[in-house]
Structures are given as C-alpha cells and as structure tokens.
Amino acid sequence: MEIQNLTKEIRDRSLERMKKRKPEELSASWFQDDLLYSGKGKSIFIIIPTPGCSWALGDSGGCTMCSYISDCTLEPTDADTIFQLFKNEFKKYLDEIKESEEKNEKIAIKLFASGSFLNPKEVPKEARDNILKYLATNKAITEIIVESRPEYVKKEILGEIFEIIGDKLFEIAIGLESSNDETREEKINKGFSREDFEKAINTIKSLKNSHNIKSKAYILVKPILLSEKEAINEAIETAKYCEKIGVDRVSFTPATIHKGTVIEQMWRLGAYQPPWIWSVVKIINTVRKEIAIPSFMDTSGFGSRRGPYNCKKCNKELKHTIINSNLNQNMVEYENCDCMEEWIANTKIANLNKSQIKIKHLPLI
Ligand code: SF4
Ligand SMILES: [Zn+2]
C-alpha cells in the first residue's frame, strides 16, 4: 500500500535521527479541571514511559499524524521502573487530592502509555497490575481512563483489571479517528477496520451489566487529503456513527503538525494545512445539537503555527471558550471576526484536486 510504504519510510528516518531517552526523562503529569462521568471534577494525567506503540514500530510505520513514538524508550522498560515512575508522578498531587476530597470533588486519572495500555508488550502486565492495585486503594480516584487500539480490548484482560479495581469506573479510549474506511485506511494508515472497532465496543458493552466500564472514541479532525469541508462533514458523521453503535463519549482531536510524520511532510510541501478553528467550532456545535452523548474538543496546539488557526484576533478567545464548553457541554458562543469570510471561502472548496496530490510522488525531505 502506498501510504504504508511512505509512512514506514518517514518513520524509519525519524527513528534513525531520534536520540534514545531514558524512562526517567519521559514520564510526565499534570492536573486540571475536567468533566467526569460523575460531573465536574479534576483529572490527573500521567504519561507512563513505554517502548512505544507496536503499530508504529512495526512494518506499517504507524498512523500518518502520530509522533508519540518520539516520547518512548524504543526498548523494553522493566515493570518495576514503570511502576516507580508512575508513583513519583502520582505523589506530586497528594495535596490536590486531599483538597478535592475535602470538597467532596471527584477525581479521574488518565493513564497515557503513548500507545496501548492494554497491550502487554507496551505496558507489561506486572506494571499494569501494580499501577491499578495502587489506584484501587485510593478512595478519591473514582474513574480510571486508559487508551488502547481495539485488538487489545479482550474480555480476559478486562476481567483481570476489574478483579483489581472493583467498582471503580474504567474507560477505554480508542482512536477510531474516522468512520470512513477510505480515510482511516488510506489517509491515516490506522490498520484496523470498522468491524474491529465494533468488536471492541461490543466486548465493552457485554461487560456493562457486571462492571462499571465505558468506552470513548477519538476522532481526528482533518486527516491529510481531505478538504476543509470534507473534514467537517466526516468528523460529524463519525460522531453520529459512534453514538449509534453505543460508544459512551467522543473526543475530537484537531490535527496538529508533529515532527517526523507524513502530515508534517505534506505540510512542508504546502499540501496540507491544519483545520481552521471555525471548522472545529462548527463540528462541536453541530455534534452537541445532534447527538446526546458527551463530546469533547481537544485544544492542544490551537493558535500555533503547527496547529488549528483562525487569526491573531480570535484564536485565543475561541480556545478558552471551547475549553469552558467542554466542561459545561454547551454550545460554543462566539463573536464574528474578519477572518470568517476567508474560512467560508475555504469551506466552499468541496473536494481537493486529488490528482495534484499523489502520495507516491511526495519527495522525502
Ligand atoms: S495514533 Fe495510536 S495507534 Fe496510531 S501510531 Fe499513534 S499511538 Fe499508535
Ligand atoms: Zn479571526
């Protein structure tokens, strides 16, 4: 497949240039307001060091927009080191946890493995068990969120997890990116089908009677080779599809340009621009009106050269309004801005002239 060859080539070059980093340099964390299943509360985000996403390290080269691999060790890290680093990060928030407990505020924890938390090759079972055992004893943490590709969502692994965490809520976030097969396969190089995704969602649904289990889908806003208009429509369609098949929440990730990716290559050649923030507003407002499940809009990279962009006058304010709307699940209210006209003209381009952009003709830079 053209897209796989190109992704693999770009990935290999970027891996060659990458400086190997120790696990200690890669763990990170932050704490922020969030909307939990139980209502408004706080979330602790912890990045745990892993060798890297198996899909990105394999023959496929991974997904065209993803550079998580550059935050990974590229070699196995022993379970004990992973657990110790997780604990070091977690302990930074003991004061905040106490404060939230006093206010009767709920806390969620999001464990990011820069790939699949449920894949034992990325997060060894021993590390996974120890992290979950540690969290199981903390009453303030009521919701645990992890990310995984669908092929690792298996009943036996989930059974092992619930044996440890009991009745805490456990959410698995899966990067579906798009419900459109051509987009997901040919433009994102995701490597799984809608059937694979639905199988994972059905496994989660089958456990709902006995466990507090939830699912979330990530939806990529504006993959490569889509016009602004196509990108808006596909993101909305994907959210509707997710609701229809029983996903509990959706989270949109507007594309940003990360180093060592196919998307960066196309951006450098002038063949790709991240979405307008107006497109993002259009998506979230339509989705909040037309579907009932909670929807979130990631605002990372907004207003930067490599991220979603409108104009200097309105970038910042819209970003804050979107962050607030995530917490309240309301519509994004905005004032018109001069840049809107240019956006409207942009969305009138219904289809890219695809004959001009041929993956196989992209020079490697
Ligand atoms: S998006 Fe997910 S599956 Fe794709 S390469 Fe990145 S971590 Fe791996
Ligand atoms: Zn503007």
Domains identified in the chain and CATH numbers: 2-361 (3.20.20.70)
CA of 56 to the centre of ligand 1 (A): 6
CB 11 near ligand 1, within 6 Å: no
- pLDDT on residue 19: 86
CA-116 nearest atom, ligand 1: 7
Whether the Cβ atoms of residue 75 and residue 137 lie closer than 8 Å to each other? no
Helix crossing, 340-347 with 228-245: angle to 10°?
A: 80
Amino acid sitting at position 198: E
What percent of the chain is predicted at pLDDT more than 70? 95
C-alpha 287 – ligand 2 centre gap (Å): 22
Tokens of 171: 């959410």
Cα–Cα nearest to 256, from 218, 221, 301: 301
Q: Are 279 and 231 in contact (CB under 8 A)?
A: yes
- Residue holding tokens 């995704």? 197
For 341, the token pair is: 């006209």
3, 10, 48, 55, best to mutate for ligand 1 pocket (most atoms within 8 Å of CB): 55
Residues ≥6 apart with Cβ < 8 Å to 331: 285, 288, 289, 325
Atom 2 (ligand 1) nearest CA: 115
Output the CA–CA distances (angstroms, integers) from residue 268 to 272, 310, 316, in the order listed: 8, 19, 25
Distance between CA atoms of residues 51 and 102, nearest Å: 38
SS3 content of the chain, % helix, strand, coil (to 5): 45, 15, 40
The Cα 186–Cα 2 span in angstroms is 8
With a 6 Å cutoff on the Cβ, whether 66 touches ligand 1 is yes
Q: Which atom of ligand 1 lies closest to the CA of 56?
A: 5
Distance (Å, rounded) from C-alpha 292 to C-alpha 234? 18
- At 360 the pLDDT is 55
Residue 350 confidence (pLDDT) above 70: no
363: burial class by Cβ within 10 Å (0-12, 13-18, 19+)? exposed
**pLDDT tens-digit profile of 284-327?**
999 999 999 999 999 999 999 999 999 999 999 999 999 999 99
Answer yes or no: are the C-beta atoms of 191 and 60 closer than 8 Å.
yes
Please tell me the number of the ligand nearest to residue 191's CA: 1
Q: What is the dihedral of CA 333, 344, 307, 223, to 10 degrees?
A: 110
Ligand 1 center to residue 55 CA distance, Å?
7
Is the pLDDT confidence value at 80 over 70? yes
Ligand 1 center to 192 CA (angstroms)? 11
Ligand 2 centre distance from Cα of residue 339 (Å)? 4
Token readout for 66 is: 């993803």
Q: Which helix (H) or strand (E) holds 190?
A: none
Which pTM does this prediction carry? 0.95
192 touches ligand 1 (CB under 6 Å): no
Beta strands at 169-177 and 141-147: parallel, antiparallel or unpaired? parallel
Structure tokens at 141: 């943490």
> How many Cβ atoms are within 10 Å of 163's Cβ, its own excluded?
11
d(CA 345, CA 361): 28
Measured in angstroms, how far is the CA atom of residue 340 from the centroid of ligand 2? 6
Among 4, 53, 221, the mutation site with the greatest number of ligand 1 atoms within 8 A of its Cβ is 53
Which tens digit of pLDDT belongs to each residue from 201-231?
999 999 999 999 999 999 999 999 999 999 9
Average pLDDT score over the chain: 94
Q: How far is CA 308 from the centre of its chain?
A: 16
Q: What are phi and psi of 111, to 5 degrees?
A: -100, 110
Tell me the per-residue pLDDT of 31-45, one tens digit each, with 9 for 90 and over. Answer: 999 999 999 999 999
